[in-house]
A = this chain, B = another copy of it.
């Protein structure tokens, strides 16, 4: 079967993938937007996990062919590529942490989902073990690196696809070259000789797409609102987190509209009438301890800020991203015939780690008419050191320190 794709043009679907495509688990991904609320910043970004999954399948297929992996082993990887996102909650990553807190499951934990139903039947018909496929989705094993790892085809597809649909060019990597230059050396997925720049370009693309697209402040605000709404929906109704995980975007949005406790959040998200930033603070201005707080600690802080500012607790959201991981970049490239970690070869990689820290921001969000009050309250409650950098989106010109691209409606 030949499927037309806006990014890869023609995708030829064969073997087990043909049968998997028609299962409800995969078709559901047509109804889960790839970038959740990012469409509120970039209106063209309405692409779904379905087309992305086809793209990942396609690149995996190409990579396998260049790597000379064949037979059942290859079929298993192709199945995993097509299925790698079936565990996503509605709006992709936006609701994932809520679901995880209640179910213990991240989106790439799909063992249970593949064990029964149509997908299990198709895998079994093709002689594939659901557990082995789910292991690949989780990134386990030598071939798992291809599906989930620093050089995985997932990342290659989403960078190019997100660039195509947002219109932001930074994600335009040379994915065709990347796929061709992969090889296995001693069980490690590496890039062949002469690809330091190819590897760097992948990291740079992410480094530029992150603040511009994935963590754009409007995306973060709307995502926080959606998360808050999802939490309340679990509290206020008999919807379970497990059921929420299996909803699609339509189900969740309409459920938020139909529940009294969340109707206003749903309206705000629908009409792009979003909360605004009351605080937008750099890492250096935030007490260390704040970064260690768990969900309950954050919730308590939100209530404290609301009390201090004398506003409805429902009107304050505290958004503390996790500490930028000073992770070892594990991408490996071959240089002078030896496998070397990209971090050792590339001056850029070190810089990108620092950039990640520079771009980190703590946010406090509130309705437009109380941002200033909430901002000052949050500063006191949280012990922030932000004399000069306190933000109030409601009074632009005073403390705007950031990328206001698309602010308004974009």
Smallest CB gap from A211: residue in B: B197
Q: Does A48 contact B (CB under 8 A)?
A: yes
How near does chain B come to A346, taking the closest CB pair, in angstroms? 8
Contact A336 B169 (CB under 8 A): no
A248: which B residues are within 8 A, CB to CB? 270
How near does chain B come to A394, taking the closest CB pair, in angstroms? 15
Residues 197 to 243 of chain A near chain B (Cβ within 8 Å): 197, 200-201, 204, 207-208, 211-212
Q: Which of A70-78, A96-104, A348-356 lines the interface with chain B?
A: A348-356
Contact A44 B403 (CB under 8 A): no
Contact A176 B18 (CB under 8 A): no
Indicate whether A21 sits within 8 Å of B408 (C-beta atoms), given known contacts A51-B44, A211-B197.
Answer: yes
CA distance A352 to B119 in the complex (A): 46
Q: Does A93 contact B (CB under 8 A)?
A: no
Contact A10 B250 (CB under 8 A): no
Contact A44 B43 (CB under 8 A): no
Residues 1 to 50 of chain A near chain B (Cβ within 8 Å): 1-7, 9-10, 13, 18, 21-22, 24, 27-28, 30-31, 33, 39-40, 42-48, 50
Which of B254, B400, B409 contacts A254 (CB under 8 A)?
B254
- How many positions in chain A have a CB within 8 Å of any CB in the partner chain? 92
Which of B22, B194, B204, B358 contacts A409 (CB under 8 A)?
B22
A50: which B residues are within 8 A, CB to CB? 43
How near does chain B come to A282, taking the closest CB pair, in angstroms? 11
Q: Interface code A260-281, partner B: CB below 8 Å = 1, 0 otherwise?
A: 0000000000111100000000
Contact A208 B197 (CB under 8 A): yes
Smallest CB gap from A400: residue in B: B193
Smallest CB gap from A353: residue in B: B347
Contact B3 A43 (CB under 8 A): yes
Q: Interface code A52-76, partner B: CB below 8 Å = 1, 0 otherwise?
A: 0010000000000000000000000
Contact A5 B408 (CB under 8 A): no
How near does chain B come to A2, taking the closest CB pair, in angstroms? 6
Smallest CB gap from A193: residue in B: B400
Indicate whether A176 sits within 8 Å of B9 (C-beta atoms), given known contacts A24-B271, A351-B350.
Answer: yes
Q: Which of A136-144, A146-154, A160-168, A313-321 lines the interface with chain B?
A: A160-168
Smallest CB gap from A407: residue in B: B1
Contact B169 A3 (CB under 8 A): no
28 A-B pairs (CB sep. < 8 Å) = A1-B408, A2-B180, A2-B410, A4-B42, A4-B168, A6-B44, A7-B44, A7-B167, A9-B176, A13-B408, A21-B409, A27-B409, A28-B270, A44-B47, A193-B402, A194-B400, A194-B402, A194-B405, A197-B208, A197-B212, A204-B208, A248-B270, A250-B253, A347-B354, A347-B355, A348-B348, A348-B352, A348-B355
4 shortest A-B CB distances, which residue pairs?
A: A351-B351, A6-B44, A194-B403, A254-B254
